[in-house]
Amino acid sequence: MKKLFAVVMAMMLLLSCGAFAELDTTIPEGTSFVFWHSFTGANEATLVAQIAEFEAQNPGIDVQEQYIGGYNVIHTELASANAAKVGVPALSVINVPRLTSYANDALVEDLTPYIEAFADEINFADFYDGMVDMMKNGDHQTALPFGQSGQIFYYNKTLLDSLNVTFPTKTEDMEAFLETVYNATQKPVIEIHGTDNAYFYCLFTNMGAYMIDTETNTTGLDSDVAKDLAAKLRSWVDKGYIKWVINDVANTMLLDFTSGNCASVLYTSSVYASYKQKAESGANGLTFEVGIANQPFGANGTNHQYVAGATMIIPAAECNTQAQKNAAFKLICFLTAPEQQLEWATTSSYYVTRKSASTDPQYAEAYAALLEKLPEMATIDLNSYVAKTKHELFDKCGDIFEKYMSAIMADAGDLEENWDIMIEEINDTLADR
Amino acid sequence: MKKKLTTMEIGGRTVHIRPEKFYWSDFFMALPAVLILVLITYYPIAELIRISFTDWRLTSNVYDYVGFKNWNWLFTAKTSTRYLSNSLRITVIYTVGNIAIDLGIGLLLAHLFNRLTKPFAAMRALIFMPRYIAMSSCGIIFLWMLNTDYGVINKMLEWVGVTEHINWLGDDQNALISILILTGWHGIGYCMMIYLSALLGISKDYYEASSLDGATGLQQFRYITLPLLSPTTLFLFITTFISSMKVYQSVDVMTGGGPRQKTEVMVYYIYRLAFDDNRLDRASVVALLFFVILLLVTASTLRVTNKNVHYEA
């Protein structure tokens, strides 16, 4: 009887240990970790200042922030370091579309236990739902939003006001808008970033066409609605309403927009501050006010805006200790807090990732400062942002999509022929998983 | 016991060579260099072969051995054959173009500047100078110069009446030409210098004798200069061939393989497989195939052209 009792007690003890197995959140004095990021200029300066503030608040933690390069460089370095099992940072910024494959390969830590363990330092429910949803892999929260951006239209508000037109909110109103502005200016009305599908993909999904149908493992672009939209875009390109930019895109679009060679560009929200500054200062010979607009609604009212830009991960590599990972998560908590987010957004034009930043009275002053500098930010409804299809081949299929779209739009390639080859190539890629 | 003589045919004559005596000290003197060579050249090749039989993704630390699955993918999968044939075709076109530009213009310039005077030395230095600049820096400069809307090249073309701006890097046909212009500008000087040194090594007696026989300049070039430059040409051909087949940096900076993979050369394709798709396994089989192609083409070129090379000046 005593033996049985002892066994039962031992089992209960073991079970209770398992049930209460929590993350060891200890961060000893002198914990130092490496943080890789991709921010430069004023953004980097703000980030460095915020990290210094974090270190002052947490004297036992030393953050070695390192600018590595653009997203592609960070992805390459991260994968290489992971393969070598040395030199992996405890915290890194990556591009959102990469997250799914990293999560599938268990390259990143599941942040769920961290969120629970550090609950008093991070209000997880305060993040915008679409942003955190994009960074989920099944039940695991594999990243947290930081440096989020969207794909928005910048337009010459002064010009549109003088023509008494507003930027269309629905795809069906686009043609009339383009015609009016083109007739008045005889210049391309919209320039579209043609080498990244993220910018024009939203137009397709709002019409109901998706790049990957996860149920059939084929592309949803093989549909009449997708082809019709592509034909419509092509007709606008042929009429001179739209310019599909595939060359030196960032410079070309900035110069064309700020010098009055086009009325609008479809680009990342993270360049709002620099576009505004250049347009309002007349840096390229024309002074005007900049407006921003979301992607237009689809025919049935679908309004998808997609989360893009950066996200923060803690690599799962064993070369970093649990203490370093804890310290890294503490930094995430700090950098994604509403105060820091408002300061970060005011400098960088990246979206604020916390709902309370715009609603909680304690942040009213900082939010007002953000809107004073970037007034059009108020037009962006971050609640309408949703997660894209999470598929490890999304990026690869996107490359094929943008390749054929640029053949059709920029090189006047045959729509039917190119579309069919594109469908075949995407389906082959999906089959070759 | 006396060692046997080895008999060889050199230049149509039979030559008897006595084998050198083997000393262990020679072996140990060479051993460190051999070990380094094994470590940095042969070990990676062996590792490449091993990885080609796994399913290793760069982002994953676990992998299994999958036999010939990757080789099967290489030769049968639609995704592989489509991109592989595209990159092979582009690499061959680039290589032919680059060899023609570097060797052709290099030889022409060598002839032009084959004078030992100061102004010619200055001109030679100017032509050779791009070689000192890193390819990545050259690529960025050319990127700006070739911008369709704001690039200096299109502006200069405007002055001579070409008002329609050429889309140098975004057009399917022009993109590869743009890269050839950059690499040609970068590499011509080197070929010119090698040809110049070879030209200086040709005895003037040949030209004087042929002049006495009434040979024209063109005939002298055809029957004296070209044959006597053939060892140099072979050397430049092989080195330019290998470096052209392995072109990467200029493509990466200028076009990133675009537009629409029209400049995606083999090495760029391998890079894309390894670091964009994180498929080290597939990148390994393509790299091995590329290695074999390079080896076979170089060996057969040497075998075929050696018969037409004149080593005696």
Chain mean pLDDT for chain A = 90
For A265, phi then psi, to 5°, come to -135, 150
Contacts of B78 in chain A (CB under 8 A): 428, 432
Per-residue pLDDT, B312: 58
B61 pLDDT above the threshold of 70: yes
- Pick from A79, A101, A252: CB nearest B149: A252
Q: What is the CATH number of domain A151-303+393-431?
A: 3.40.190.10
Q: How many CB atoms lie within 10 A of CB B37?
A: 12
Contacts of B277 in chain A (CB under 8 A): 396
Question: Would you say B266 and B290 are in contact if contact means Cβ atoms under 8 Å apart?
Answer: yes
Inter-chain contact B148–A105, Cβ cutoff 8 Å?
A: no
B258 has a chain A CB within 8 A of its CB: yes
How far is C-alpha A194 from the geometric centre of its chain's CA atoms? 17
A10 pLDDT above the threshold of 70: no
Inter-chain contact A428–B58, Cβ cutoff 8 Å?
A: no
The closest of A82, A74, A88, A76 to A37, measured between CA atoms, is A74
Q: Do domains A30-148+308-385 and A151-303+393-431 have the same CATH topology?
A: yes
Inter-chain contact B59–A105, Cβ cutoff 8 Å?
A: yes
Mean per-residue pLDDT, B40-66: 91
**Confidence tier at A420 by pLDDT (50, 70, 90):** very high
B148 has a chain A CB within 8 A of its CB: yes
Inter-chain contact B59–A101, Cβ cutoff 8 Å?
A: yes
Inter-chain contact A411–B261, Cβ cutoff 8 Å?
A: no
Mean per-residue pLDDT, A291-296: 91
A319 has a chain B CB within 8 A of its CB: no
pLDDT tens readout for residues B95-114: 999 999 999 999 999 988 88
**Confidence tier at A18 by pLDDT (50, 70, 90):** very low
CA-based nearest distance A212→chain B, Å = 17
Kindly report the pTM of this predicted structure: 0.79
Q: Domain locations in chain B?
A: 76-308
Inter-chain contact B170–A246, Cβ cutoff 8 Å?
A: yes
- Chain A residue with minimal CA distance to B259? A403
A390 pLDDT above the threshold of 90: no
Contacts of B169 in chain A (CB under 8 A): 247-248
Inter-chain contact B79–A428, Cβ cutoff 8 Å?
A: yes
Mean per-residue pLDDT, A144-170: 94
Cβ neighbours for B227, distance < 8 A, ≥ 6 positions apart: B310
**Confidence tier at A20 by pLDDT (50, 70, 90):** very low
Inter-chain contact B59–A432, Cβ cutoff 8 Å?
A: no
Tokens representing B169 are 């890097």
CATH of B76-308, one of 1.10.3720.10, 3.30.470.20, 3.40.1280.10, 3.20.20.70: 1.10.3720.10
Q: Domain locations in chain A?
A: 30-148+308-385, 151-303+393-431
Contacts of B275 in chain A (CB under 8 A): 75-76, 79-80
Question: Would you say A277 and A251 are in contact if contact means Cβ atoms under 8 Å apart?
Answer: no
Inter-chain contact A83–B280, Cβ cutoff 8 Å?
A: yes
Three-state SS string across A204-225, please?
HHCCCCCCCECCCCECCCCCHH
Which residues 62-81 on chain B approach chain A with CB closer than 8 angstroms? 73, 77-79
Best A187, A248, A411 residue to mutate vs chain B (most B CBs within 10 Å): A248
Cβ neighbours for A53, distance < 8 A, ≥ 6 positions apart: A334
Inter-chain contact B278–A105, Cβ cutoff 8 Å?
A: yes
Mean per-residue pLDDT, B304-308: 71
What are residue A159's DSSP bridge partners?
A: none
Residue A269 exposed, middle or buried by CB count within 10 Å (0-12, 13-18, 19+): buried
Inter-chain contact A82–B61, Cβ cutoff 8 Å?
A: yes
A101 has a chain B CB within 8 A of its CB: yes
- Chain A residue with minimal CA distance to B275? A76
pLDDT tens readout for residues A322-366: 999 999 999 999 999 999 999 999 999 999 999 999 899 999 999
Three-state DSSP state, A65: strand
B267 pLDDT above the threshold of 50: yes
Mean per-residue pLDDT, A74-79: 92
Per-residue pLDDT, B310: 66
Please tell me the distance from the alpha carbon of residue A77 to that of residue A30, in angstroms, as a whole number. 26
A167 has a chain B CB within 8 A of its CB: no
Residue predicted with more confidence, A317 or B306: A317
Mean per-residue pLDDT, A191-214: 92
Per-residue pLDDT, A6: 58
Domain spanning A30-148+308-385: CATH 3.30.230.70: no
Mean per-residue pLDDT, B165-178: 89
A404 has a chain B CB within 8 A of its CB: yes
A411 has a chain B CB within 8 A of its CB: yes
- Chain A residue with minimal CA distance to B274? A76
Which residues 224-253 on chain A approach chain B with CB closer than 8 angstroms? 246-248, 251-252
Cβ neighbours for B232, distance < 8 A, ≥ 6 positions apart: B194, B195, B198
Per-residue pLDDT, B117: 75
Question: Would you say B8 and B15 are in contact if contact means Cβ atoms under 8 Å apart?
Answer: yes
Please tell me the distance from the alpha carbon of residue B165 to that of residue B157, in angstroms, as a whole number. 8
Per-residue pLDDT, A298: 82
pLDDT tens readout for residues A90-139: 999 999 988 998 998 889 999 999 999 999 999 999 999 999 999 999 89
Per-residue pLDDT, A16: 47
- Pick from B58, B170, B171: CB nearest A83: B58
Contacts of A248 in chain B (CB under 8 A): 143, 147-148, 169
A313 pLDDT above the threshold of 80: yes
Best B171, B172, B278, B284 residue to mutate vs chain A (most A CBs within 10 Å): B278
Lowest-confidence range among A220-224, A280-284, A416-420? A280-284
- Pick from B78, B150, B260: CB nearest A407: B260
For A14, phi then psi, to 5°, come to -65, -45
Question: Would you say A197 and A204 are in contact if contact means Cβ atoms under 8 Å apart?
Answer: no
Please tell me the distance from the alpha carbon of residue B270 to that of residue B285, in angstroms, as a whole number. 9
Residue predicted with more confidence, B3 or A230: A230
Q: How far is CA A309 from CA A93, A145, A147, in A?
A: 10, 9, 6
Per-residue pLDDT, B11: 65
CA-based nearest distance B66→chain A, Å = 15
B51 has a chain A CB within 8 A of its CB: no
